[in-house]
Structure 1
Amino acid sequence: MESRVKECVAGIYADGWSRIVATMIRFTGGNWDLAEECAQDAFAQALRTWPTSGIPRRPLAWLTTAARNRAVDRMRRASTEAAKLREVAATEPEQAPPDTGDSDIPDERLELMFTCCHPALNLHAQVALTLRSLTGMSTAEIARAFLVPERTMGQRLFRAKQKIAHAAIPFRVPPAHLLPERLPAVLHVLYLLFNEGYGDPGKTRLSREAIRLARVLTVLMPDEPEAQGMLALMLLHEARRPGRIDANGDLVTLEEQDRSLWDEALIGEGLEILDRALRRRAAGPFQLQAAVAACHVTAPVAAETDWRQIAGLYARLALVAPSAVVDLNHAVAIGMAEGPEAALPLVDAIAGTGQLDGYYLLHATRAELLRRAGHPAKARDSYREALELAPTEAERRHLRNRLRLVTADPGRGGR
């Protein structure tokens, strides 16, 4: 029974944590710390009592009630001053819940997402608060995931919650006229979380959590094609995860991946979601990136990838979401479609702006193009620059292998 309870609680925690925290934030009047503590206490209480009392018929409701009871108890034991303030508040007429404008979405997880990703918070705070409040990760776990001291991450979380309190940031879904302004921040943070887990094999939990939250977002906001596009993009990338790292832990490039290892179910789901989004004829950045990913996963072999179509998609992406990274990806696609000589001037122009000086993929891309164009000495220099900036050991090993390849066979050219 005890093992069954643990399994049940773990399953509920994955999806139920954010729902309970969201409910408790509203119940406690915006006290994020108390909300999280009471949610944690509720799960601990379930582990203690369910082995003897049995798993309740509605476990999530049981946990929510337990958290609410714990909050009431905590507030009753608070300081005299706080108690007096509550007594004053209790004598005032009950106020209606915050107006959510034209939104009729009942699930408070969406409110939690939009509060965590409010534009008044900086990006670091948005990411940290999203992880803590929506995934239930501890401060120590978040700190390890982002390679910062636990104290630093604790300070980020504290400042974010203080900002919400002092700036009176409302806990609600923004009115309909503000959604276009706010939704990109939510999408950006969720995709950032996904990339953090996708780029480092040791952080796969972040990718799973990002996909889970993206699924929640598309269910709660079914008429937002960009949310669907982001989920499709995540799924199409995640489908390739089994082929990205070999048995030795080394990174495998897209061209060299064993496509039989890719997850066909995720590919099918991602393509279906992308098709549904594109039918709305309002293609945004995530839909266009997902369309690029679709070109890769639908090509039966790497040599049959439609690089001209990919270049066209990146050209369109550069119009709707211009950035140096998009320009770099566009250059890569041109290099694959027309040859490295066509792409090298574009990459050199991007490098000349200085916008991507610390971005290892700029130097790695230049190195690959130089290698394919038959300039091994210049390629070695760019590989070394990329190696100094690569963020993970898997990426560094890959670059060392490329550097050894061009050093051992300096005359090697082509792909």
Structure 2
Amino acid sequence: MTEKIGVVGAGIVGLAVARELAGVRGAEVTVLEKESRVGAHQTGHNSGVVHAGIYYPPGSLKARLCREGVALLKDYCAAHALPYQEVGKLVVASTRAERPLLRALAERARANGVPGIAELDALALREIEPHAVGIGAIHSPHTAICDFPAVARRLALDVAELGGSVRLSHPVRAIRERSGVVEVLAGRRKFAFDRLVVCGGLGTDTVARMAGHPGDVRIVPFRGEFYALKGAAKELVRGLIYPVPDPRYPFLGVHLTRQTGGEVLVGPNAVLALAYEGYRWRNIRNFGQILGWPGTLRMARAHWRTGIKETYGSLVKRAFLNGARRYVPELTAADLERAPGGVRAQAVARDGRLVDDFVVDVHGNVVLVRNAPSPAATSSLAIARHIAGIVPALVR
């Protein structure tokens, strides 16, 4: 009998998982998505960077799946004529105090098997990015950009071609397990699955509670705002220019990112949102739920100074500009215009710790992807293989 598997969430991770399970396991897969289109949230609101694996602790799930995912994604884009450009990335140190961090980052990248990593001085970095400044940098020539929403749409087609279905406008309303079957009420229909994989992103906590597995971490949303460069200013950036990240946080800081269509984004910052889909300040829909998690307030107490700084940068364009001018000083306020932002689903532990690695839990017939922030899009095809390997096989 054909195995029936449900996947909650039609972001790039959920669709990759559905494709993998349908193709490798031969399962009958149904994807349930509350929105009217695929990739509506994190997949469609990011900077489009295919990360090479520079930042992640060697041996972590992120490090392994990112490196595997890059190769799989590159091949997938080539096979389906999807945009994929190796524009390269500079991680730039602007002060002497950042030199040790930069050196450690280069060592970590090499330990993760990132190809072509080079350490550059102030002159050499300008050969890569003529308008950038810094006292040194590391160069990752194979860091790429792609169109993740286009990848998601292609994955949805793959699922259909493999005999599965993607049910849009089907929000999950209830989940019940009985007699080895996972019953899911989604939209106005009831589905019965042998296995259920939850790739809910910003909606993870809601679905996990329905499944009876609230867990020891909770999603805390962080809004990331972007500006775009206008006119001739776009020519000031050839590829990707990043700061040396603060090792205390899983966020990478405001950076400059060329897009596959030729646009250049500046951002994102990282501001605590008070709604899971809090793309705007005035949205405080989930205020009580987010602040009701003990980890949120513990995190805020530990990092309030950074929170104030990020909020100031969000409200004051000049502060945001100054962050970008640290690396490309020719930029002016007139060069920046507001661009659509995004919201990152970041898992936070009860003690206030920002969970850095990917987290996947298995509870009998339910698999929950608890934490899949960046580089989840880069790693999506590898995450799908990982999940397919841990979803319990059906025994009849």
> Could you tell me the TM-score, scaled by structure 1's length?
0.25
Tell me which protein shows more helix as a share of its residues.
1
Instruction: Please give the TM-score of this superposition, normalised by the length of structure 2.
Output: 0.26
Structure in which a larger fraction of residues adopt strand: 2
Higher-Rg member (1/2): 1
